[in-house]
């Protein structure tokens, strides 16, 4: 099977654009076809004529930096028009759209424009040393996910590869029992942005380890535990080849089946000891608290350190959009928050100052 191919639109044509294209392509998972940006009307004509020959689109955020071609639009305006046309049923390929940027500050401007978040499936920041393997895997997964959605339509049980009746039905909103056709990119956005990329019904390996009380780095039996014991909770639906996730509710069910106890009622040491006994895995080590933390009733992680954390000892992270009712807040530990390793929620500022009095920083 041929690799998915992306059309890459940028106003520049230099070593930076070549390195970006080659970095993604050299991994061997996707192909990237560079095309210099054109004025708005000509660009849409290119999309109408040629985009059906591609599996996805990559657009640089700022297309107005090359004075020799003097373009007046950005990736956001192009993506808005393309999404509107596909939603209206016009003959444009409803494909993944990926945003890339060379400047963190510009990317932050995009972050603040929440109205444009639903236009793009993925963002690549052109850093000094990008993780090309991760980006290529994500892009390939997004293409295959779009193909799957186009095949199964609105069958949510097939899309998520499980009985969704046990999940919060607010997650699915307009897609639940809908008799109207909806753009594929709408459903893709829900899965990628709201479910896979935000803790809630699905959790990543760091959150999984925190809830099981385990120190990943010290536990030689970690891979055996998740591959054999907790495989029943692994997410196997659309985009799962790009995002390794576990169903939070199925993790709880499996732990109770193994131990007879509720996971949330135990500290890390008790959780790990019960797993060692039930699963006959002696090389599981319980996680120690982060500096200036005490509790081992872990349920989340410090996003900076990627280590287990009790939410009661953590500080909620600010987001331009508040979490949905079925999503969870992200947290920083006291040390990370005090060192400004992220922006905390305004409601946490007074509490952080109180903690600073208890745990002075060096």
Pinpoint the alpha helices (H) of 13-74. Answer: 15-25, 40-50
Residue 180, pLDDT score: 67
pLDDT band at 101 (very low <50, low <70, confident <90, very high): confident
Give yes or no for a contact between 340 and 318, defined as CB atoms under 8 angstroms apart: no
Alpha-carbon 27 to chain mean position: 21
pLDDT band at 62 (very low <50, low <70, confident <90, very high): confident
pLDDT band at 16 (very low <50, low <70, confident <90, very high): confident
| pLDDT at residue 134 greater than cutoff 80 | yes
Mean pLDDT, the chain, integer:
91
pLDDT band at 82 (very low <50, low <70, confident <90, very high): very high
Residue 129, pLDDT score: 84
Among 12-16, 35-39, 92-96, which stretch is predicted with the lowest mean pLDDT? 12-16
Residue 69, pLDDT score: 73
Q: What percentage of the chain reaches a pLDDT higher than 90?
A: 76
Residue 265 is classified by DSSP as G
Instruction: Tell me the three state secondary structure of residue 56.
Output: strand
| pLDDT at residue 52 greater than cutoff 60 | yes
Residue 108, pLDDT score: 65
pLDDT band at 128 (very low <50, low <70, confident <90, very high): confident
User: pLDDT tens-digit profile of 315-326?
Assistant: 999 988 899 999
| pLDDT at residue 67 greater than cutoff 70 | no
Instruction: Sketch out the chain's domains with CATH numbers.
Output: 5-146 (3.40.50.2300), 202-358 (no CATH)
Among 81-90, 210-219, 303-312, which stretch is predicted with the lowest mean pLDDT? 81-90
- CA dist 268 and 7 (Å) reads 48
Give yes or no for a contact between 184 and 241, defined as CB atoms under 8 angstroms apart: no
pLDDT band at 111 (very low <50, low <70, confident <90, very high): low
Question: Residue 325: is it exposed, middle or buried by C-beta count within 10 angstroms (0-12/13-18/19+)?
Answer: exposed
- CA dist 333 and 361 (Å) reads 13
Q: Which residue has the higher pLDDT, 362 or 142?
A: 142
Nearest Cα neighbor of 8 from 41, 64, 71, 50 is: 50
Residue 296 is classified by DSSP as -
Question: Residue 188: is it exposed, middle or buried by C-beta count within 10 angstroms (0-12/13-18/19+)?
Answer: buried
User: pLDDT tens-digit profile of 239-254?
Assistant: 999 999 999 999 999 9
- What contacts 361, CB < 8 A, 6 or more positions away? 335, 338, 339
H/E segment holding residue 10: strand 5-10
Residue 115 is classified by DSSP as G
User: Buried (b) or exposed (e) across 248-258, using 16+ Cβ within 10 A?
Assistant: bebbeebbeeb
| pLDDT at residue 359 greater than cutoff 90 | no
- CA dist 188 and 95 (Å) reads 10
- CA dist 52 and 82 (Å) reads 13
| pLDDT at residue 346 greater than cutoff 60 | yes
- CA dist 310 and 289 (Å) reads 9
């Amino acid at each position: 099977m041929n690799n998915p191919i992306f059309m890459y639109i940028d106003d520049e044509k230099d070593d930076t654009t070549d390195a970006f294209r080659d970095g993604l392509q050299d991994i061997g998972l996707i192909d990237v076809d560079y095309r210099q940006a054109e004025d708005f009307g000509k660009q849409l004509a290119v999309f109408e004529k040629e985009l059906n020959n591609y599996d996805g689109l990559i657009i640089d955020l700022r297309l107005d930096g090359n004075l020799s071609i003097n373009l007046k639009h950005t990736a956001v305006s192009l993506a808005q028009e393309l999404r509107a046309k596909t939603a209206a049923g016009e003959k444009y390929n409803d494909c993944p759209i990926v945003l890339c940027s060379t400047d963190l500050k510009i990317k932050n401007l995009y972050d603040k424009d929440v109205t444009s978040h639903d236009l793009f499936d993925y963002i690549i920041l052109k850093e000094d040393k990008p993780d090309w393997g991760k980006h290529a895997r994500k892009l390939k997964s997004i293409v295959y996910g779009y193909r799957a959605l186009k095949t199964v339509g609105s069958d949510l049980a097939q899309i998520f590869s499980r009985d969704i009746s046990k999940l919060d039905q607010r997650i699915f909103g307009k897609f639940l029992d809908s008799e109207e056709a909806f753009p594929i990119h709408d459903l893709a956005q829900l899965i990628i942005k709201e479910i896979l990329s935000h803790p809630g019904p699905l959790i990543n390996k760091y959150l999984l380890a925190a809830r099981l009380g385990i120190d990943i780095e010290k536990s030689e039996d970690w891979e055996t535990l998740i591959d054999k014991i907790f495989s029943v909770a692994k997410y196997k639906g659309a985009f799962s080849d790009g995002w390794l996730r576990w169903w939070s509710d199925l993790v709880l069910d499996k732990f109770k089946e193994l131990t007879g106890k509720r996971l949330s009622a135990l500290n890390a040491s008790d959780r790990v000891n019960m797993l060692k006994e039930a699963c006959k895995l002696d090389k599981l080590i319980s996680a120690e608290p982060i500096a200036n933390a005490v509790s081992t009733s872990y349920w989340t992680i410090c996003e900076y350190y990627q280590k287990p954390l009790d939410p009661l000892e953590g500080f909620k992270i600010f987001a331009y959009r508040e979490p949905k009712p079925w999503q969870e807040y992200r947290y920083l530990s006291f040390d990370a928050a005090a060192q400004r390793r992220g922006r905390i929620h305004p409601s946490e500022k007074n509490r952080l100052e109180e903690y600073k009095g208890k745990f002075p920083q060096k």
